[in-house]
């Protein structure tokens, strides 16, 4: 079984009704930060083909809209935020690009984002995945210990795969429960070994964005999922991709969709700016928004669709981004691991200086630790991060000169970072979520991608998939 890194979790542009409007200069989680890339121009095409409304200007919605427009459809994209990208969100308020959301392009071999990057003219930097690791007291691990820390997550994944095979004919249980039962005979482990195991669990929870106590053991990811090869950063901004996809589309920002009705001949979409009609509607809003019933469907969604939405849950992967006067930590790997005595406490850090030349560190928090983090003030969160850094790099570690704390669970639009399969559900829920309702209402987004959920490329692939479905339904070439 293969578990790939899930770093998910958009950009600063304002484009509406074909107008080129300056981006917001604020940094309140809803607009373009100061110093964002120049806004893109939205073009309203005069096309006489079938009309398609796409709800959501994330990677899935933009991919679908572009593919359908190229086949002759009259497409409009409605986006609640005042930027495109959704959970792809590049922030430039610290003076250089950092990612509040999606962070990696995962795998180079066959990944459709790689040629898209080339088309967009964006710059890639390889994630060399060179690791440094520190014990709870800041002691840097050496040689054999480092290998054990670096392999802690891989060892845990192998154990989970073995447990899943043992339980495959039984009732489902959580990964956490299965691991706990497997731990009962491991009384000889040292405190350090326990911390390494907790590091593996915390690392996996940053990948899945959910507590292992809620993730299904039998609903683990398809072992054929993911792409091989190197992974990459986009040091000049991941937002280059959604901005490129949006460049020739009619994208209306700041539009909230309230109702989608199929009770008349054409689909009627009620929005905050008026009613729209179309031959088909593509819904690409996040799973968290579907679970929160952000859009009312008339008639109500069929039972199998409601069951699919209930059968998946939204995980949380948050970030603490710290800018410093200089890169005092330089000289080692670009990935820092921390084996805390508190499971889940900031197990993964990325050296953004190594990738971009900018003096910043990015800490990740996932699962229950992230949910607890979101209830605290920024100052408290940053103090905790600094305590970890001072343990590892000494008491003279300087204070950051800028910081960002990203809270995805509290985001009122996404309600989390990306989807996972909980106990007593299965990946079949993803297939059911992806299924259209008749030939007029269609669904896309990372949660609908059974092979590559919880990734940017998975969202993009789902947009291309749904475009094919709509094209067939509307008899587009």
Span 32-42, mean pLDDT?
40
Residue 222: pLDDT band (50, 70, 90) is low
Mean pLDDT of 448-462: 97
Contacts of 356 (CB under 8 A, 6+ apart): 96, 97, 125, 233, 235
Task: Write the CA distances from 113 to 238, 251, 338, 422, 465, integer angstroms.
Answer: 11, 21, 31, 28, 15
* Residue 8 vs residue 251, higher pLDDT: 251
Q: Which residue has the higher pLDDT, 75 or 170?
A: 75
Where helices occur in 36-151 by DSSP H, the ranges are 59-69, 113-120, 143-150
Q: Does residue 18 have a pLDDT over 80?
A: no
Cα separation, 425 vs 208, whole angstroms: 16
CA–CA dist 391, 245 (Å, integer) = 44
Among 47-51, 53-57, 178-182, name the most confident range. 53-57
pLDDT at res. 169: 75
pLDDT of res. 8: 33
Residue 186, pLDDT score: 64
Helix axes 456-473, 59-69, angle to 10 degrees: 40
Q: How confident is the model at residue 14 (pLDDT cuts 50, 70, 90)?
A: very low
Domains of the chain, each with CATH number or no CATH: 14-120+234-313+414-473 (3.50.50.60), 126-227+315-406 (3.90.660.10)
Please check the confidence at residue 44 and state whether its pLDDT lies above 70: no
Q: With cut-offs at 50, 70 and 90, classify the pLDDT of residue 224.
A: low
How confident is the model at residue 7, as a pLDDT? 34
Q: What is the pLDDT of residues 244-301, one digit of tens each?
A: 999 999 999 999 999 999 999 999 999 999 999 999 999 999 999 999 999 999 999 9
The band of 108, judged by pLDDT with boundaries at 50, 70 and 90, is very high
Peptide bond into 299 cis (omega under 30): yes
- pLDDT at residue 47, as a whole number: 63
**Residue 109 clears pLDDT 90, i.e. is over it:** yes
For residue 460, what are its two tokens? 């993009």
**What's the confidence (pLDDT) of residue 38?**
40
Q: What is the DSSP letter of 257?
A: E
pLDDT digits (tens, 9 = 90+) for 149-199: 999 999 999 999 999 988 877 789 999 999 999 886 666 889 999 999 999
Computed over every residue of the chain, the mean pLDDT equals 89
Quote the pTM value.
0.90
Among 12-26, 47-61, 215-229, 322-336, whose mean pLDDT is lowest?
A: 12-26
């Amino acid at each position: 079984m293969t578990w790939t890194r899930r770093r998910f979790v958009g950009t600063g542009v304002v484009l509406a009704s074909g107008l080129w409007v300056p981006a917001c200069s604020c940094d309140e989680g809803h607009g373009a930060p100061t110093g964002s890339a120049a806004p893109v121009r939205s073009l309203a095409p005069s096309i006489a083909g079938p009309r398609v409304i796409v709800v959501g200007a994330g990677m899935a919605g933009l991919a679908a809209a572009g593919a359908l427009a190229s086949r002759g459809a009259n497409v409009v994209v409605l986006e609640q935020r005042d930027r495109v990208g959704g959970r792809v969100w590049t922030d430039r308020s610290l003076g250089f690009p950092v990612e509040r959301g999606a962070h990696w392009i995962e795998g180079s071999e066959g990944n459709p984002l790689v040629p898209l990057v080339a088309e967009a003219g964006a710059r890639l930097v390889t994630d060399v995945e060179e690791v440094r690791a520190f014990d709870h007291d800041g002691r840097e691990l050496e040689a054999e210990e480092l290998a054990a820390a670096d392999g802690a997550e891989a060892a845990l994944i192998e154990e989970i795969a073995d447990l899943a095979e043992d339980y495959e004919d039984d009732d489902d249980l959580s990964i956490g429960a299965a691991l706990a039962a497997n731990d009962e005979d491991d009384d000889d482990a040292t405190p350090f070994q326990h911390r390494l195991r907790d590091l593996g669990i915390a690392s996996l929870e940053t990948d899945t964005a959910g507590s292992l106590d809620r993730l299904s053991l039998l609903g683990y990811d398809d072992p054929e999922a993911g792409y091989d090869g190197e992974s990459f950063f986009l040091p000049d901004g991941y937002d280059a991709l959604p901005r490129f996809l949006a460049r020739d589309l009619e994208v209306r920002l700041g539009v909230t969709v309230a109702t989608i009705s199929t009770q008349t001949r054409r689909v009627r979409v009620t929005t905050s700016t008026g009613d729209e009609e179309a031959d088909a509607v593509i819904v690409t809003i996040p799973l968290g928004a579907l679970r929160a019933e952000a859009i009312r469907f008339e008639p109500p969604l069929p039972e199998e669709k409601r069951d699919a939405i209930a059968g998946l849950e939204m995980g949380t992967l948050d970030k603490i981004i710290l800018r410093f006067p200089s890169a005092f930590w330089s000289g080692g790997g670009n990935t820092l691991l921390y084996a805390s005595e508190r499971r889940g406490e900031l197990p993964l850090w990325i050296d953004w200086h190594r990738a971009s030349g900018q003096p910043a560190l990015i800490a990740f928090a996932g699962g229950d630790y992230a949910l607890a983090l979101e209830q605290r003030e920024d100052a408290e969160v940053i103090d905790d991060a600094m305590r970890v850094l001072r343990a590892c790099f000494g008491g003279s570690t300087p204070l950051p000169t800028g910081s960002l704390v990203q809270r995805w669970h509290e985001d009122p639009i996404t309600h989390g970072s990306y989807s996972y399969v909980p106990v007593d559900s299965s990946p079949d829920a993803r297939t059911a979520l992806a299924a259209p309702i008749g030939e007029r209402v269609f669904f896309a987004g990372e949660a609908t991608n059974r092979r590559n959920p919880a990734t940017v490329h998975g969202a993009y692939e789902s947009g291309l998939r749904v475009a094919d479905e709509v094209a067939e339904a509307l008899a587009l070439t």
